Amino acid sequence: MKKALFIKTILLILIIAIMGACSNKSTSKEENVNLNVQIDKLTDNEFKEVQVNYLNDPKKDDFRKFSLTFQIDGSSKKRVNIPDFKKVINTIDNQQRYWFGNSSEKESDNSDIYKSEFIFYSKGLTEDTIIKAFEEKEVKVIFYKKDKIIDEKQYNIGDSLIFE
């Protein structure tokens, strides 16, 4: 009788352990996140790359450079969604403000880095207007396990924006 109870107890412990291992809850530690967003004046070399043929008397101070670096450390499976910055900057006043830019992703087992840079036509815009364009834009991170979403986090771009 004691032997049967012992075997049932062992089986119950094994079942609980297996069920815990198959749980959909995230067991990874909290992700370490770094969001750096800044708007800079152009250098002389950067301004030389800007094609300004159809603008009337363009100046270097008529342009700015937007830079975003988003780094997230951790081994959880995730999908990172970054806004379409061309659309964001062009909807400020329905004028074509996006000039050119690029973005890149570097993903590894323990750290993912997303970068985006672009030059935009800033003539007539105030810092407040630019901040307002980005105040509701977010980098969204969706954590998942076996194609099922287990968590979602948003990081506000406007709140992180720094002017240099």
Give the pLDDT of residue 3. Answer: 64
Helix (H) / strand (E) containing 12: helix 2-21
Give the pLDDT of residue 127. Answer: 94
Give the pLDDT of residue 23. Answer: 42
Give the pLDDT of residue 34. Answer: 94
Residue-by-residue pLDDT tens, the chain, 164 positions = 666 655 665 654 655 555 554 444 443 445 789 999 999 999 999 999 998 888 888 999 999 999 999 999 987 888 899 999 999 999 999 889 999 999 999 988 788 999 999 999 999 999 999 999 999 899 999 988 888 888 999 999 999 999 98
Among residues 152, 144, 67, 64, which one has the least CA distance to residue 104?
Answer: 67
Give the pLDDT of residue 137. Answer: 94
H helix and E strand count, the chain = 4, 8
Give the pLDDT of residue 94. Answer: 85
In this structure, what is the dihedral angle of CA atoms 102, 126, 36, 101, given to the nearest 10 degrees? 0
Residue 162 backbone phi and psi in degrees, to 5: -125, 135
Give the pLDDT of residue 53. Answer: 81
Amino acid at 17: A
Task: Answer left, alpha or beta for residue 125, where phi above 0 means left and psi between -120 and 50 means alpha.
Answer: beta
